Amino acid sequence: MNFEDEYSEPTLEDLEEIDEVFEVEPDLDAPVNELSPQSRKELSLKMLRHVYENLGHAIELLESGNDAGAATRLADLLAGKSQMVREKEELMGRKVVEGIFDGMNMVGDDGDIYPVPPNYASKSRLIEGDVMKLTILEDGSLVYKQIRPMERERAIGQLQYDQDQGTHLVLSESACYQVLPASISFHRGEDGDEVVLTIPKGGQSKWAAVETIIKKR
């Protein structure tokens, strides 16, 4: 593969050229099983106690000059909040798993690998390292949500198709990235097209998200 073609920086008009119309995400706000008044009260009290105790200790540690200890308390507060959100979902007949997007799948904190629908990954422009939440509904449906995105930057490259591996690649000046076929199909990409990518800022990754494709002229 070579990178002989000259590239011109895409204009705002180029980037807005294509109206992205991927499928709409499922609605998680629709009730599955409503919490009983008693369960709601118990969970609310548990959450309030957790916030009260950790915030109080964090304030005391900050006032005494123990910044590291205060940071640990605040981290505990966030972790506890995530756990209670999980408890709420489980009481409503849902299972919640958090994990890291690896370019194609979500590597769950339970050690399992969960395939992320290419349609959703393309629409959301997920990149390696994004933290995701998977909610498994009572009927077995899987609903993904990006909850802590990586810091991002753009890169520009040329679209190529690797026939040996059967994958789409984008060759930039400094790296070669794999991209999801769903993104290329949606934008009707062809070999030689210019691709605007979203990649992790300052980091290395094998995968990139397609922001838009500028057709070769």
Q: What is the DSSP string of 36-51?
A: PHHHHHHHHHHHHHHH
Within a 13 Å sphere around the CA of 113, how many CA atoms are in the beta-carbon half? Answer: 5
Q: Is 155 exposed, middle or buried (0-12, 13-18, 19+ CB in 10 A)?
A: middle
For the cut 70, the answer to whether the pLDDT of residue 164 exceeds it is yes
Q: How far apart are CA 121 and CA 123, in angstroms?
A: 6
Give CATH for domain 152-214.
Answer: 2.40.50.140
For the cut 90, the answer to whether the pLDDT of residue 167 exceeds it is no
Q: Which helix (H) or strand (E) holds 83?
A: helix 67-91
Q: What is the overall mean pLDDT for the chain?
A: 77
Q: How far apart are CA 3 and CA 194, in angstroms?
A: 11
User: Can you give the pTM of this predicted structure?
Assistant: 0.61
Sign of CA dihedral 169, 170, 172, 175: negative
For the stretch 19-40, pLDDT in tens is 343 343 444 444 444 555 665 6
For the stretch 39-58, pLDDT in tens is 566 666 766 676 767 677 77
Give me the pLDDT at residue 181, please. Answer: 92
Structure tokens at 42: 């118990």
Q: What are the extents of the domains in the chain? A: 37-91, 95-148, 152-214
For the stretch 2-22, pLDDT in tens is 434 443 444 444 444 433 433
Structure tokens at 162: 């690797």
For the stretch 73-121, pLDDT in tens is 777 766 666 666 666 656 555 788 899 999 999 999 889 999 999 999 9
Which residue type, as a one-letter code, is found at position 46? K
The number of residues in the chain equals 217
Give me the pLDDT at residue 80, please. Answer: 64
Give me the pLDDT at residue 47, please. Answer: 67
Give me the pLDDT at residue 46, please. Answer: 66
Give me the pLDDT at residue 216, please. Answer: 77
Give me the pLDDT at residue 62, please. Answer: 80
Q: How far apart are CA 120 and CA 139, in angstroms?
A: 20
